[in-house]
Amino acid sequence: MDDTKFEWYETENTERFLPVRARWTGDGIETEEYPGPTVAPSRSATDIAACFPVDAPRIARECGASEEYRVAVLKARIDAVMQKRGCGAVKTYFNSCASVGFQWSAWMRSSVAREGDERRLSGRTPYAEADHGTEVDALEALATFLGVTS
């Protein structure tokens, strides 16, 4: 990865959309929120994940990266590996009705689903889910479960 070039990844949750940017310094990942709302992210999640090493989520955690950035890296890593298995994108949601400690869910199906296809696909394709107290913890659990991070 070019250590002078910012790579982009966008992330979102149920409350807000948050573009972040990061770069590989050789010792770790530097990250910051993009200050302007007008410039669209230029790279796909797969591209970003391909730039980062396999253990990018662990490095991000050890570097004390923001939770939003760790979410972005985990999503990118999961999508990059699972797309090779023919799967769709990982998704997260917050369920305020769930038990405390399990309100964040990270999940994905094995098929690429368009908007509106979820109900049709729900009974046909493999489904995986991890529930935790935070979005990043749920994503980490799912990533480990799916074998995309070590």
Partner 1 sequence: MTPVGPPGDDWRCVFLDGPSPHNVWVRWRDNAVEDTNYNGHGDFYEPIANAPLELVRRFGRNAWNVARSAEAAEWYCAGVLRACIVGRCTGTASATVTTHHDPSAPPFRVWTVAVQCGGEGEPAATAYGVTELGVLETIARFLGATR
Nearest to 142 by CA among 96, 89, 95: 89
Q: Which residues bind partner 1 (CB under 8 A)?
A: 81, 85, 87, 101-102, 110, 123-132, 141-142, 144-148
Q: How far is the CB of 115 from partner 1 (least distance, A)?
A: 22
- The residue among 20 and 146 lying less far from partner 1, judged by its C-beta, is 146
Q: How far is the CB of 101 from partner 1 (least distance, A)?
A: 7
Distance CA 141, CA 131 (A): 8
- The residue among 59 and 142 lying less far from partner 1, judged by its C-beta, is 142
Q: How far is the CB of 15 from partner 1 (least distance, A)?
A: 23
- The residue among 40 and 97 lying less far from partner 1, judged by its C-beta, is 97
Q: How far is the CB of 9 from partner 1 (least distance, A)?
A: 23
- The residue among 89 and 141 lying less far from partner 1, judged by its C-beta, is 141
